[in-house]
């Protein structure tokens, strides 16, 4: 035993230069990821800044009781799940379709042009997205109210105060921003398919449609599964930028736009309620982790090489 | 032989898709060059009846705040990207060496960070109570320095495209690990460095969240955060316009166009360099799509 561990240390010592190279990254991950993980027990404490983290009182499940006693918990969980689920479904279907279409473009210049334009929204910040949404929805001057509703004699709407429209608005904005990126990832997978499959299929008289459904889609299925897996693992994490910037953090539409991330942010930075922030945050981390592990196990069951780990 | 012509229906559908992606930018641009009185009377439009460049004039006359924010964003991005590339590639290189005894443990260490997070509050406390970096540029730089996914992409690149024999022979010739890393690995990994570098650049440049959480001092506002403030807070927008306003004898401050002109100034550089970077992005996505 002793000599075994001894030789292990010896081998590590032999590669100490590699340890040094890896060290900055290890330290940064310690600060960024691991220290916060240990902070998760704050959910069971009544955090008191003057007493410090260690000096604060243990209060058991009180923070969680408080969180679930309000209706907020169910609302933000419902919103987070429903938004992410619809984003996932709509985005995947549209992105695969878009990738298939892009793959049909034979002209090199046109293909490049389409790829650039559809992916452009992915590279601008959510802040700019907030400006764009505001340009369309500003209650007094917005394009929708002034140039679409008014000419049809429909009363202008106060978009930032009416909760019922936001599920559609946010879904649209999310699709606009994200679909190009996913499509290009799928396109890259399609381009990587061996052309012999298609040549053989053409000899057998397969139509373009047949080639698409029998060759292309089955062959890119692994990538679709991995992207979906990643998304399901993050289904409890909302895109904070989208829900904060696009809604201009309007409090009046919370019912349909509040998600776990915006709730935690508000509890922490605006109302200063660390108890709610930590319990909702912990809920998110634990459920998220469980989801990734479960989904990954499920995928491993029927197709081992497609699992993440 | 099949004809090399694209089905016109596909071209039409894709053109509509492209248009839908571009046209929102056009709206913002048109508001920024619209005459304020016309906008107040008619609303935001894709083709305002009256044009005016007054908004841009205002911004250039009182460019102090914006220039400062540009400076903050540019320095954070530059430092962040350079340090991040170094840290990420060094860690990835260690992981790519099959003989490295800590390889498995380190991979696991990285995997955990990709699966589980402590959440916003503990993260916030680490930065403010432990590192005490709030209201410094460090708070904007540190969070983006390393990401598990990037390390894995780089490691995959190193293992797949740098022959182990190359490393062996350099070490037989007496090069140490550092020497090997700097003079063999780095020069050979330009494609992956460019890709990850571009991704990191975009995420630093677009970041506003860390400012929102950690920055109170107006002098350290990044460009995106300044824009956030301007969008959400009308009186903040007013303070940006005020100084220039007092020096000219105009009746109305073109607040609406100033707001959108600021957005344009922030989008500008990205759209100008985008066509050149696009091929790297696409390449990077391909790399990212391959499982690590």
List the single residue in B with minimal CA-CA distance to A110. Answer: B11
The DSSP code sequence of B223-258 is HHHHHHHHHH-HHHHHHHHHHHHHHS--SS--HHHH
Please indicate whether, in this complex, the C-beta atoms of B121 and A277 are within 8 angstroms of each other. Answer: yes
pLDDT at A189: 87
pLDDT at B255: 85
Q: Chain A: give the shortest CA distance to residue B53, in Å.
A: 18
- Per residue in A30-39, pLDDT (tens digit) is 999 999 998 8
Q: Does any domain span residue B3?
A: no
pLDDT at B18: 96
pLDDT at B4: 65
Distance CA A259, CA A278 (A): 15
Quickly list H helices, chain B: 8-32, 36-42, 54-61, 64-96, 103-115, 120-125, 137-141, 148-161, 164-172, 177-180, 186-188, 190-206, 209-214, 223-232, 234-247, 255-289
Please indicate whether, in this complex, the C-beta atoms of A21 and B291 are within 8 angstroms of each other. Answer: no
Distance CA A80, CA A257 (A): 9
Averaged pLDDT for residues A182-203: 90
**pLDDT for A281 beyond 70:** yes
Please indicate whether, in this complex, the C-beta atoms of B21 and A8 are within 8 angstroms of each other. Answer: no
Please indicate whether, in this complex, the C-beta atoms of A39 and B178 are within 8 angstroms of each other. Answer: no
Q: Which two tokens stand for residue A53?
A: 């983290």
pTM: 0.91
Q: Does any domain span residue B36?
A: no
Please indicate whether, in this complex, the C-beta atoms of A308 and B87 are within 8 angstroms of each other. Answer: no
CATH number for the domain that contains residue B190 = 1.10.3720.10
More confident residue, A96 or B253: A96
H or E, element range at A46 = strand A45-46
Distance CA A120, CA B17 (A): 12
CB contact at 8 A, B265 and B237: no
- Strand, coil or helix: A57: strand
Q: Does any domain span residue B163?
A: yes
Q: Does any domain span residue B244?
A: yes
pLDDT at B243: 58
- Could you count the other beta carbons within 10 Å of the beta carbon of residue A200? 12
- Per residue in A111-147, pLDDT (tens digit) is 889 998 999 999 899 999 999 999 999 999 999 999 9
Distance CA A57, CA A63 (A): 12
pLDDT at B248: 52
The secondary structure of residue A146, as a DSSP letter, is I
Please indicate whether, in this complex, the C-beta atoms of B224 and A249 are within 8 angstroms of each other. Answer: no
Please indicate whether, in this complex, the C-beta atoms of B113 and A135 are within 8 angstroms of each other. Answer: no
Q: Which residue positions in chain B have pLDDT lower than 70?
A: 1-4, 241-252, 283-292
Q: Chain B: give the shortest CA distance to residue A108, in Å.
A: 11
Q: Does any domain span residue B165?
A: yes
pLDDT at B246: 53
Q: Does any domain span residue B13?
A: no
pLDDT at A176: 97
Name which of A125, A179, A235 to mutate to probe chain B: the one with the most chain B Cβ atoms within 10 A of its Cβ: A125
Q: Which two tokens stand for residue B128?
A: 């403010």
The domains found in chain A, sorted by start residue, are 60-302 (1.10.3720.10)
pLDDT at B274: 79
- Structural domain for B132, as ranges: 60-290
Quickly list H helices, chain A: 2-14, 16-29, 35-38, 52-55, 62-69, 72-104, 108-119, 126-137, 143, 166-191, 195-203, 208-211, 217-233, 240-245, 254-257, 260-265, 274-302
Q: Does any domain span residue B228?
A: yes
CB pairs under 8 A between A and B: 286
Identify the CA nearest to B59 among candidates B253, B270, B271. Answer: B253
Contacts of A116 in chain B (CB under 8 A): 274-275, 278
- Scanning A212-251 for CB atoms below 8 A from B yields 223, 226, 233, 240-241, 245, 248-249
State the distance between the two ends of chain A, measured CA to CA, in whole angstroms: 30
Averaged pLDDT for residues A216-238: 85
Mean pLDDT of chain A: 90
Please indicate whether, in this complex, the C-beta atoms of A124 and B286 are within 8 angstroms of each other. Answer: no
Q: Does any domain span residue B221?
A: yes
**pLDDT for A230 beyond 80:** no
Spell A111-120 as b/e; 16+ CB within 10 A means b: bebbbbbbbb
Q: How many domains does chain B have?
A: 1
H or E, element range at A58 = strand A57-58
């Amino acid at each position: 035993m002793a000599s075994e561990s001894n030789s292990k240390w010896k081998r590590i010592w032999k590669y100490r230069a590699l340890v040094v190279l890896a060290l900055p990254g290890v330290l940064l991950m310690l600060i960024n990821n691991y220290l916060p993980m240990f902070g998760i027990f704050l959910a069971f404490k009544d955090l008191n800044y003057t007493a410090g983290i260690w000096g604060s009182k243990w209060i058991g499940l009180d923070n969680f009781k408080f969180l679930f006693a309000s209706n907020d918990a169910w609302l933000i969980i419902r919103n987070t799940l429903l938004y992410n689920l619809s984003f996932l479904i709509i985005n995947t279907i549209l992105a695969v379709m878009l990738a298939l279409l892009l793959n049909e473009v034979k002209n090199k210049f046109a293909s490049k042009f389409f790829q650039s334009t559809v992916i452009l929204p992915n590279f601008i910040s959510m802040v700019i997205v907030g400006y764009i949404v505001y340009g369309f929805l500003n209650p007094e001057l917005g394009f929708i109210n002034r140039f679409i509703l008014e000419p049809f004699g429909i009363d202008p709407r106060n978009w930032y105060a009416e909760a019922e429209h936001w599920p559609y608005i946010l879904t649209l904005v999310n699709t606009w921003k994200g679909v190009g990126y996913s499509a290009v990832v799928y396109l890259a997978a399609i381009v990587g398919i061996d052309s012999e499959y298609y040549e053989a299929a053409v000899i057998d008289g397969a139509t373009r449609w047949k080639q698409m459904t029998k060759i292309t889609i089955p062959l890119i299925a692994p990538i679709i599964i991995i992207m979906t897996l990643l998304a399901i693992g993050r289904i409890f994490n909302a895109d904070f930028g989208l829900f904060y910037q696009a809604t201009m953090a309007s409090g009046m539409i919370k019912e349909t736009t509040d998600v776990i991330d915006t709730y935690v942010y508000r509890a922490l930075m605006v109302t200063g309620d660390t108890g709610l922030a930590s319990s909702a945050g912990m809920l998110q981390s634990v459920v998220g982790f469980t989801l990734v592990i479960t989904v990954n196990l499920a995928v491993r069951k029927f197709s081992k090489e497609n699992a993440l780990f | 032989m099949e004809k090399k012509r694209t089905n016109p229906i596909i071209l039409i559908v894709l053109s509509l898709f492209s248009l839908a992606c571009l046209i929102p930018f056009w709206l913002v641009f048109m508001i920024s060059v619209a005459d304020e009185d016309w906008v107040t009377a008619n609303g935001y439009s894709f083709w305002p009846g009256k044009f005016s460049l007054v908004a841009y004039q205002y911004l250039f006359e009182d460019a102090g705040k914006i220039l400062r924010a540009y400076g903050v964003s540019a320095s954070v991005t530059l430092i962040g990207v350079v340090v991040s590339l170094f840290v990420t590639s060094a860690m990835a290189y260690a992981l790519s060496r099959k003989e490295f005894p800590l390889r498995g443990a380190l991979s696991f260490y990285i995997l955990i960070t990709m699966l589980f997070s402590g959440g916003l509050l503990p993260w916030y406390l680490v930065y403010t109570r432990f590192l005490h970096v709030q209201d410094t540029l460090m708070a904007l730089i540190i969070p983006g320095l390393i990401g598990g996914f990037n390390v894995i992409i780089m490691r995959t690149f190193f293992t797949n495209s740098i022959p182990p024999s190359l490393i062996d022979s350099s070490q037989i010739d007496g090069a140490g690990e550092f020497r090997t890393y700097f003079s063999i690995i780095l020069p050979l990994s330009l494609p992956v460095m460019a890709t990850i570098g571009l991704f990191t650049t975009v995420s630093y440049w677009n970041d506003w969240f860390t400012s929102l959480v950690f920055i109170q001092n107006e002098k350290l506002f990044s460009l995106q955060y300044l824009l956030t403030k301007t969008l959400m807070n009308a009186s903040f927008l007013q303070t940006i316009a005020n100084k220039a306003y007092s020096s000219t004898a105009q009746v109305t401050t073109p607040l609406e166009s100033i707001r959108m002109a600021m957005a344009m100034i922030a989008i500008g550089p990205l759209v100008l360099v985008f066509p050149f970077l696009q091929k790297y992005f696409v390449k990077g996505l391909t790399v990212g799509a391959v499982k690590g």
